[in-house]
Amino acid sequence: MALIFSNTLYRSSRVILFAFIAAMMIGGIGCKSKKKAGDVTDTAAEKAKMEQEALEREKQRAEEERRRAEEERLRLAREKAREEAEAPANKLSTYFNAVANASSATSANQSINEALTMFASPQTPVLIVISEVNGQKDYDRPTTIKEYLNYLKDQKKNINSIGDLQYDSSGKITELELIKRK
């Protein structure tokens, strides 16, 4: 009887061992599948977070690009305005040099007539600054643009640079301020 009892005990311990292993496998699979399900939601949340961060980075890049484009547009507008403001002064300076360096009186007179078209009248005042101290300007005797252009023709040298131009509503020069070069 002892043999039967030990045989039964041996078989039942084997059954219990198999049942325990089966339970562990089922429980392990269940835990793994629960873990995988959690991983799926974690992965989905992580993916959503990454997509959100990518969208934010893209918005920042777009905003930065828009800001740079606006800065470039403003820089170009300032540069264009400066060039437009300097254009009459450059053109007038070219006329002054053409009159002073003319090869003949006829050529100088032609340049004078072209230069006079930029002014409101041939009697437009020309002020020549001979010195400036603490914002106080000292002027030479006032003259007119026609007289100044004839002076350039006679002297054959341009010793003054353009300081300030005043315009009327039609864009013609109404006053010219020159600065004596040293």
pLDDT at 37 over 60: no
Higher-pLDDT residue of 18 and 98 is 98
Q: What confidence score (pLDDT) does residue 28 get?
A: 61
113 domain-assigned: yes
165 domain-assigned: yes
- Per the CB < 8 A criterion, the answer to whether 171 and 118 are in contact is no
pLDDT at 179 over 80: yes
Predicted confidence band of residue 161 (pLDDT cuts 50, 70, 90): confident
107 domain-assigned: yes
108 domain-assigned: yes
112 domain-assigned: yes
70 domain-assigned: no
Q: What is the rounded CA–CA span in Å between residue 132 and residue 11?
A: 120
Average pLDDT over residues 82-99: 83
Higher-pLDDT residue of 150 and 182 is 150
pLDDT at 95 over 80: yes
Q: What is the rounded CA–CA span in Å between residue 139 and residue 157?
A: 20
Q: What is the rounded CA–CA span in Å between residue 155 and residue 127?
A: 18
40 domain-assigned: no
Q: What confidence score (pLDDT) does residue 140 get?
A: 86
Structural domain count, the chain: 1
Q: Which residue range(s) make up the domain with 105? A: 78-180
170 domain-assigned: yes
Residue 140 burial by Cβ neighbours in a 10 Å radius (0-12, 13-18, 19+): middle
